[in-house]
Structure 1
Amino acid sequence: MTGTGGPSAAGGTAGTGGPAWAGAWVADRLGVRLADGARPVGAGLSDLVGLAVRRNPRRAHLLVSAVLGKHVPTDPRLVYGAGLLLGGLVRARLHDVDVPSRAGAFLTDALDGAPGAAAALRDVLSEPQDPLDAIVFGYAETATALGHSVADALGGAYYLHSTRRPVPGFTAYGGFEEEHSHATSHLLLPANPADLDRDVPMVLVDDELSTGRTVLNTIEALHAVRPRRHYVLAALVDLRGDEDRARMDALAARLGARIDAVALAAGRVELPDGILDAGRALVASLTGPAAAPAAPAAPVTGAFPVTRARLDWPSGLPDGGRHGFLPSHRARLDKDLPRMADTIADGLGDGFSRVLVLGFEELMYAPLRLAEALADALPDADVRYSTTTRSPVLAVDDPGYAIRTRLAFPAHDDPADGPGERYAYNVSAGFDRIVFAVDGPGDTGALAGGLLARLRALAPVTIATVPSRRRDA
């Protein structure tokens, strides 16, 4: 999706003769429109997202981010840089400092596909700054790496993300319901609850703020356990209306706390009447009995080889923020990333030009940082990053649509809420190497006959397993 530019509010293309906006297909068929609002770093709402159609009875459309690396394989340095940039906006709100002026230009250049811009964005935002003590909280599954990146930008922040995976030995601190999600159970499982019980600023990070209800519900629940004076909502895009912002202000007054919000871009999604019925009808027309016959599915034969990269993941280093991630963990990971990336690169062999590093659902940060280091280690290769997901989305092979292809496969981590279908989007034969970064609970026998069989039908696959933290670790 990088390099697609942005549309007008009417959902057109990025200039005469330019490439189609990856939301034009939905805009044309469902009448969905994006209207730009504030652009604090230069990029507009429609530069940062495209559109797809959900297979969800409660929401017809899906905003597909150009900088999140969830559904769209993206330069990992752009993904990490965008997260650091969001963290820079948080830092500016907490500490009254300016975000480096070059960062916004690098972001827009990277979105346009300018060579070197993604790395420049990451590098300028990685320059040392004084650490800020804060608690950063990210929402699973989509914002786990984004929250990590915001915490990295603050330097001294403790990071925790919610999880859908109960872990034996860890006691839940609390839970909440994400109202629009297709899988709503979330847990907070900090290894040390005392890390949360501090009156320091809390930053709540999600990929988008649609109404803000989920984040405000979280604040209210956490404030009841441990009141604090300052909260910051941070998102890539802020779509809230006046009533939503008034609701935030009312909660702040009721709690006696300050609540701020920052985003890379703001605006609104304009939906026509009857959008849910129209979305359901559109999905049915493309997938139901009346749809045109689909081409025969290619047999999943697993033609390409599978190898394993021995990462030698540092002992005791968490795989992410499911149980908490400290500044000392961050420093240790940074030290070991180049070594682990070299291990992966050495196992890829020769004769490749495009590499996908594919993460696994909530496991987004470790794969992102490995992909980022791999891109640095392989300057002549196009390294991209995305992850698998639970989210069911319609795929349409059209340049004006954000989700071009879909791989469906059974869950392979024995999920607590039972078996189900999982997905990897925009993963195609255009990649000539695939690195699948998975945690221990996901590296099971079910992986071989499901996702792995589909991946190895496309390209040689390298599995990089990141050990999950145990209660006694």
Structure 2
Amino acid sequence: MSAGRAAPGRIWPGEWVAARLGVRLVDGERPAGVGLADLAGLAVRRNPRRAHLLVSTVLGKHVPTDPRLVYGAGLLLGRLVRARLKQEPLDDPLLAGALAQNDGAAVALRDAHKGPHAPIQAVVFGYAETATALGHAVADALGGAYYLHSTRRPVRGFVPYGAFEEEHSHATSHLILPADPDAFDRDVPVVLVDDELSTGRTALNTIRALHAARPRRHYIVAALTDLRDDTARAQTQSVAAALGARIDAVALATGRVELPPGILPAGQRLVASLSSGADPARDGHAARHAVERVDVGWPDGLPEGGRHGFRPEDGRRLGEELPAMADRLARALPAGRRRVLVLGFEELMYAPLRLAEALADARPDLEVRYSTTTRSPVLAVDDPGYAVRTRLVFPAHDDPPDGPGERYAYNVARGFDLIVLVVDDVGDTPALAAGLLRRLAGVADVLLVTVPAHRRQSR
């Protein structure tokens, strides 16, 4: 069955690409009761390796989304992992209602899976930059399993546990930098979390790297969508046999993307035809709105995410402190604002997500949405049948090791009364003030929240 259709009364944000490039989404199994078109729209990449991009409706990366839906979908994926590990069935009807934006459905989805959960012996590994918060949510659903995500940021004092390549990405190199390698280096099931499982090569590259450092008996690959074909699935089992390990996969929806011959040059021609002349993403937007700083009181010693590891006790402490942080943020909001975007920063996705979630709970009179900036270059087309309608372009502001370059914020250029930008202190630089903050201030008033990046503690 083709999944490239909109829900009744709505335009599917993939129709534009489907009509021009002939991309089709075809459903397979629907473990969460939804299909591929429910979980993703389509856009066109500015990337020489791939023409199309699946743009998730539940990830909160490119599309501003209710943070309760984002966190709830991640928790649901974690429940699928839990069901696989415990050999238990899981039947959840709530995701479809949340995607349909039924009243209270996103909150119901989040609350149904939030726990508390009995801990499961496992470690969870997420992929930067897209799946860092998604991996956190999966770990939360496993009762606060130890969590670590890859990073593209070398950090002084941290010795790499390993590294691997993401072959199809525009920024391919990933580092693994746990503060406590022993917490990660255990023979318990390893859950690898990504937003999309296309060929499975990145996951297999990671499993080989992890297995070379410390053999494990069981790996589970968890993704929002599993698009592997029969050849890729067979390759997964071949790698498992060669390693003497078990490799399972779970996803909210499975299926395939059908691509016509010649799609890559066709996509490149489409990008070229729509990118000639001045780039509207660069024009205008002179700073005219206010920019203010807000101290939400991020707790001393609490990691801002899983770049160097996030323990169950870190998750419990964050849960205890979130209401007070959300209250400080809510008291700083200018009067009269209704539509608020909480915008995270590349790999820093989980802290902004949980702040956005807590703010939405504390202020039900607000329409709170969540998304993050990204390295990924995507064509923007202002059409309701296209998933990325606006883009802001700005320079990198955290002194990245691969040098200066463009960064992007999608679908944030209209419709918000206030933008709450959350960055870590490494990214709070003069380049931030001159770049992203200036661009955002051309859109709406901005509140800047800076959280401390986790650092190696001196002995």
Q: Same fold (TM over 0.5)?
A: yes
Distance across 1 between alignment mates of 2:165 and 2:442: 38
Partner in structure 1 of residue 256 of structure 2: 268
Q: Deviations over 1:82-103 (max 9, x none)?
A: 000000000000012343x4xx
1:40-439 alignment, distance < 5 Å: 40-99=31-90, 101=91, 104-288=92-276, 298-439=283-424
Q: Deviations over 1:139-185 (max 9, x none)?
A: 00000000010000001411000000000011111100000000111
Query: Structure 1 CA distance, aligned partners of 2:245 and 2:351?
Result: 34
Q: What percentage of aligned pairs have identical amino acids?
A: 69
Change over 3 Å in CA distance of 1:447–1:402 after alignment to 2 = same
How far 1:19 sits from its partner (Å)?
1.7
Q: Which runs of 5+ in 2 are unaligned?
A: none
Q: Any idea what the Cα deviations from partners look like across 1:325-352, whole Å, max 9, x if unmatched?
A: 0000000000001110111110012101
Question: What residue identity is the alignment partner of 2:64?
Answer: P
TM-score (normalised: structure 1): 0.95
Higher mean alpha-carbon deviation, 423-432 vs 71-80, is at: 423-432
Q: Is the 8 A contact 2:144 2:315 kept in 1?
A: no
SS state of the match for residue 195, structure 1?
A: helix
Contact 1:411–1:419 (8 Å) recurs in 2: yes
3-state secondary structure, aligned to 1:84: helix
Work out whether residues 342 and 370 of structure 2, in 8 Å CA contact, stay in contact via their aligned partners in 1.
Answer: yes
Distance 2:327 2:293 in 1: 14
Distance 2:310 2:207 in 1: 20
Q: Given the alignment, which residue of 435, 449, 453 partners 1:468?
A: 453
Residue 295 (structure 1) shift: 6.4
1:218 to 1:448, Cα distance in 2 relative to 1, 3 A: same
> What are the superposed Cα offsets for residues 241-276 of structure 1, whole Å, 9 maximum, x if unpaired?
111111111111111111110000000000000000
Match of 1:446 in 2: 431
Question: Can you list the C-alpha shifts for 1:26-53, whole angstroms capped at 9, x where unaligned?
Answer: 0000000000000011011111000000
1:9 aligned to 2, 21, 25, which one?
A: 2
What is the Cα deviation at residue 301 of structure 1?
2.6
> Which secondary structure does the structure 1 equivalent of 2:93 belong to?
helix
> Does the 8 Å contact 2:4/2:14 carry over to 1?
yes
Question: Could you tell me whether the CA contact under 8 Å between 1:134 and 1:156 is conserved in 2?
Answer: no
Counterpart pick for 1:35 among 26, 36, 52: 26
Contact 2:282–2:393 under 8 Å retained in 1 = no
2:282–2:392 contact (8 Å) kept in structure 1: no
Q: Indicate the SS of the match to 2:348.
A: coil
Looking at structure 2, the residues matched to 118 and 434 of structure 1 have their Cα atoms a distance apart, in angstroms, of 21
Distance 1:10 1:39, change over 3 A: closer
Alpha-carbon shift at residue 278 of structure 1 (Å): 0.4
Q: Deviations over 1:4-44 (max 9, x none)?
A: xxxx72734434xx221000000000000000000011011
**CA–CA distance in 2 between the matches of 1:360 and 1:380?**
26
- Tell me, in whole angstroms, the C-alpha distance in 2 between the residues paired with 1:68 and 1:141: 12
- Kept after mapping to 1: 8 A contact 2:341/2:371: yes
Paired AA for residue 2 in structure 2: A
* Contact 2:3–2:27 under 8 Å retained in 1: no
Contact kept? 2:165, 2:174, Cα under 8 Å: yes
Match of 1:3 in 2: none
Question: Secondary structure in 2 aligned to 1:55?
Answer: coil
The answer to whether the Cα contact below 8 Å between 2:3 and 2:37 also exists between their aligned partners in 1 is: no
Q: Flag the 1:156–1:386 CA change in 2: closer, same or farther, 3 A.
A: closer
Kept after mapping to 2: 8 A contact 1:160/1:190: yes
Whole-angstrom distance in 1 between the partners of 2:124 and 2:410: 28
Which secondary structure does the structure 2 equivalent of 1:110 belong to? helix
| C-alpha separation in 2, matches of 1:271 and 1:127 | 40
Q: Deviations over 1:74-121 (max 9, x none)?
A: 00000000000000000000012343x4xx322111111111100110
TM-score, structure 2 as length reference: 0.98
Letter of the 2:47 partner, please give it.
N
Report the alpha carbon displacement of residue 296 of structure 1 after superposing the two structures with TM: 9.8
Q: CA deviation at 1:435?
A: 0.2
- Kindly report the root-mean-square deviation, in angstroms, between the aligned alpha carbons of the 2 structures: 1.3
Q: After superposition, give the CA deviation of every residue in 1:340-391 in whole Å (9 maximum; x if it has no partner).
A: 0111110012101100000000000000000000100110111000000000
Aligned length: 458
Which blocks of at least 5 consecutive residues in structure 1 are unaligned? Answer: 1-7
Q: Deviation of residue 299 (structure 1)?
A: 2.9
- Report how far residue 307 of structure 1 moved: 1.1
User: In structure 2, how many angstroms separate the alpha carbons of the residues matched to 1:430 and 1:390?
Assistant: 23
Pair 294,456 (structure 1): closer, same or farther in 2 beyond 3 Å: closer
Q: Distance in 2 between matches of 1:340 and 1:11?
A: 41
Offset of residue 73 of structure 1: 0.1
| 1:406-439 Cα shifts (integer Å, max 9, x gaps) | 0000011111110000000000231001100000
Q: CA, structure 1 residues 190+297, in 2 after alignment: closer, same or farther (shift >3 Å)? A: closer
- Partners of 1:194 and 1:209 lie apart in 2 by 28
| Contact in 2 for aligned 1:407/1:454 (Cα 8 Å) | yes
